Amino acid sequence: MSDILRRGRLSSTPDEDMIGFTSSMSADKWIFEADILVDMAHTVMLHEQGIIKEKDCTGILKGLFTIREEGIERLDHSYEDIHISLESRLIDIVGEDTGGRMHSGRSRNDEVATCIRIRLRDELLALAEELLELRTTLLEKASGNTETLMPGFTHLQHAQPTTFAHHLVAHSNAIGRDIERVIAAFSRVNRCPLGSAAFASTGFGLDRNRTASLLGFDSLLGNSMDAVSTRDFLIESASAMGNIMVNLSRMAEEIIIWSSPEFSFIELDDMYASTSSIMPQKKNPDSAELVRGKTGTVIGALMALLSLCKALPLSYNRDLQEATPNMWRAVETTRSAVRITRGMIASMKVDTASMAEKSVIGFTTATELADTLVRVAGIPFRTAHQIVGVLARESGNPTLARIDAVACSILGEGLSSRGLTDAMVKEALDPVMNISKRAITGGPAPDEVRRAIKMQREEAGRVQEILEDMNSKIEESLKQLFIEVEEYTGNTTYPQVTRG
Ligand code: ARG
């Protein structure tokens, strides 16, 4: 079979090394299904616009069904990409007089950009769903731990008492923003470049709105030069993923340190642990370490995308082919990291006794004691900070007598004379009281955290509905595409054709 791409202009054929260097076939497995959808929509539109005859339209569509059934393996992998190998296979099956008409008014430049967007939008929706599940798991775990004391940290030093729920809700908030970013990225991914051809559009009377609508796009990328040149939607998506991974890596780091005996806050389920090939006693939090490690992979993909696109002149340049595999690596890594993190959190055992015991180590109630001195004795916070700071140098919890003594040395007067009592000091040093006092919006008081959990659950429910709408809009469009295709081919196997 002669090479349908090179046979005209070029005479010598590339050797294996050159094919390996220039081919995108291995990454193109991601867009095989999408390419068939794009070919179908384009072909239907070509006929509707009177550009190809009905018999050719039918022949091409039937051929595309055959190719889909045969699968990507059947394609000639010595071609430089999926688009040309698929077209070549089509010509093998239905002949050039029919198959050779499919690429009218089109270039691989608008074709590939459309395919990437179709696959990526599905990946983004799936990622958003998985993030939502992670968020739900964090909230579930939080709702069972609204009274579970733990030390809160700054600089990884014991800082103030908080609850495990408060900590988990913090992560849940971050994941909520990640979901928003994924949905925002989707809104710019789901715009259709098809019909832009190489870059200057085409003299054929294509109906760009028709193909965009059959393929489930929300709108067109208007300017045909921009449409084939830009990969900013990849940068934006990878950036959202970089952010997700950074957030996951922070959870992963905590899971790693919390499972050490020095902390012993949690124990991972064995499913998420590994052991040592030499030290038989070891239980290692490898899955969390890999989430942390894979963050580097996704950040690397984002950096690659930014570097690849920097200073590229308009319009299409083959450099852009290098961009796409970075996107697939990023999305595959991020999606699996989200699922694994969810699993780790859902199944981990929480050592509430150990957390509670450590919640007061390091005089974590010092801030509340200083606040109490301010409220009761009316002294400035800065002075209270100094008094409690001096007391913090001593071991053990301060007594009223010691507070008075230190206050005397600093203020020239004790604080019991200003109304400070033993009971007040005791209350300030009680971690449960510390937490219950922090009841303002966003604080760790159990009722406030329960309110936050409820709000976040409601928000998650709303996002779930938005995602369902986005999904069903795409499905409806593709259904319409297959109804059209069925009219030509009589082939009713469309429900088996998967998305992307
Ligand atoms: N494999 C190419 C890519 O991923 C498809 C477009 C090729 N276009 C071209 N003019 N060589 O970008």
Asked whether 91 lines ligand 1 (CB < 6 A), one says no
Collapsing DSSP states into helix, strand and coil, what is residue 220? strand
Atom of ligand 1 minimally distant from the CA of 324: 4
Long-range own/partner contacts, residues 282-286 (CB < 8 A, 24 or more apart): 285/255, 285/256, 285/259
Give the model's pLDDT for residue 444. Answer: 97
CA atoms within 13 A on the CB side of 78: 11
CB of 55 within 8 A of CB of 114?
no
Atom of ligand 1 minimally distant from the CA of 116: 4
For residue 149 the two structure tokens come to 């004391």
Q: What is the pLDDT of residues 93-111, one digit of tens each?
A: 999 999 999 999 999 999 9
Q: What is the pLDDT of residues 353-397, one digit of tens each?
A: 999 999 999 999 999 999 999 999 999 999 999 999 999 999 999
Q: Do domains 16-104+476-489 and 110-142+156-209+217-358 have the same CATH topology?
A: no
Which of 276, 409, 417, 472 is catalytic? The answer is 276
Cα 421 vs. chain centroid, distance in angstroms? 53
Cα(57)–Cα(400) distance, integer angstroms? 91
- Helix (H) or strand (E) holding 144, with range, is none
CB of 58 within 8 A of CB of 81?
no
Q: What is the DSSP string of 415-451?
A: SGGGT--HHHHHHHT-HHHHHHH--STT---HHHHHH
Hey, which CATH number is domain 16-104+476-489, 1.20.810.10, 1.10.275.10, 2.40.110.10, 1.10.3430.10? Answer: 1.10.275.10
Please state, rounded to an integer, the average pLDDT across all residues of the chain: 96
User: What letter would DSSP give residue 282?
Assistant: -
For residue 343 the two structure tokens come to 């699993």
| Ligand 1 mutation target, pool 4, 10, 22, 24, most atoms within 8 A of CB | 24
pTM for this model (two decimals): 0.96
For residue 305 the two structure tokens come to 């995308």
pLDDT band for position 492 (cuts 50, 70, 90): confident
Asked whether 201 lines ligand 1 (CB < 6 A), one says no
Give the model's pLDDT for residue 4. Answer: 87
User: Who contacts 46 (Cβ-Cβ below 8 Å, separation ≥6)?
Assistant: 52, 57, 101, 102, 104, 105, 204, 206
Return the CATH superfamily for domain 110-142+156-209+217-358.
Fumarase/aspartase (Central domain) (1.20.200.10)
Q: What is the pLDDT of residues 40-92, one digit of tens each?
A: 999 999 999 999 999 999 999 999 999 999 999 999 999 999 999 999 999 99
Q: Where are the domains positioned within the chain?
A: 16-104+476-489, 110-142+156-209+217-358, 366-429
Give nearest CA residue, ligand 1 atom 3.
Answer: 321
Annotated catalytic, 155?
Answer: yes
Asked whether 318 lines ligand 1 (CB < 6 A), one says yes
Cα(321)–Cα(24) distance, integer angstroms? 7
Asked whether 24 lines ligand 1 (CB < 6 A), one says yes
CB of 135 within 8 A of CB of 179?
yes
User: How many angstroms is it from 108 CA to the middle of ligand 1?
Assistant: 6
What are the helix (H) ranges across 378-421? Answer: 381-392, 400-411
In single-letter form, the type of residue at position 455 comes to M
Cα(174)–Cα(121) distance, integer angstroms? 22
Asked whether 106 lines ligand 1 (CB < 6 A), one says no
Q: What is the pLDDT of residues 464-491, one digit of tens each?
A: 999 999 999 999 999 999 999 999 998 7
Collapsing DSSP states into helix, strand and coil, what is residue 39? helix
CB of 221 within 8 A of CB of 193?
yes
Atom of ligand 1 minimally distant from the CA of 316: 10
Asked whether 324 lines ligand 1 (CB < 6 A), one says yes
User: Who contacts 159 (Cβ-Cβ below 8 Å, separation ≥6)?
Assistant: 151, 152, 153, 364
pLDDT band for position 497 (cuts 50, 70, 90): low
Question: Residue length, the chain?
Answer: 500
Of residues 275 and 199, the one with the higher pLDDT is 199
Give the model's pLDDT for residue 494. Answer: 60
User: How many angstroms is it from 403 CA to the middle of ligand 1?
Assistant: 75
pLDDT for 170 beyond 80: yes
Give nearest CA residue, ligand 1 atom 4.
Answer: 321
Give nearest CA residue, ligand 1 atom 7.
Answer: 108
Give the other-Cβ count within 10 Å of 281's Cβ: 6
Cα(9)–Cα(3) distance, integer angstroms? 11
What are the helix (H) ranges across 49-81? Answer: 54-70
Nearest to 130 by CA among 215, 241, 56: 241
For residue 378 the two structure tokens come to 């009316």
Collapsing DSSP states into helix, strand and coil, what is residue 151? strand
Annotated catalytic, 276?
Answer: yes
Give the model's pLDDT for residue 491. Answer: 77
| Ligand 1 mutation target, pool 32, 321, 324, 328, most atoms within 8 A of CB | 321
Which of 148-157, 252-261, 271-280, 289-298 is predicted with the least confidence, judged by mean pLDDT? 271-280
Residue with tokens 């040395």: 409
Collapsing DSSP states into helix, strand and coil, what is residue 153? strand
Nearest to 111 by CA among 210, 27, 18, 41: 41
Asked whether 111 lines ligand 1 (CB < 6 A), one says no
Asked whether 108 lines ligand 1 (CB < 6 A), one says yes
Q: What is the pLDDT of residues 20-47, one digit of tens each?
A: 999 999 999 999 999 999 999 999 999 9
Which of 2, 11, 12, 155 is catalytic? The answer is 155
- Helix (H) or strand (E) holding 154, with range, is strand 149-154
Cα separations (Å) of 9 from 3, 5, 19, 54, 143? 11, 8, 17, 31, 68
Cα(55)–Cα(39) distance, integer angstroms? 16
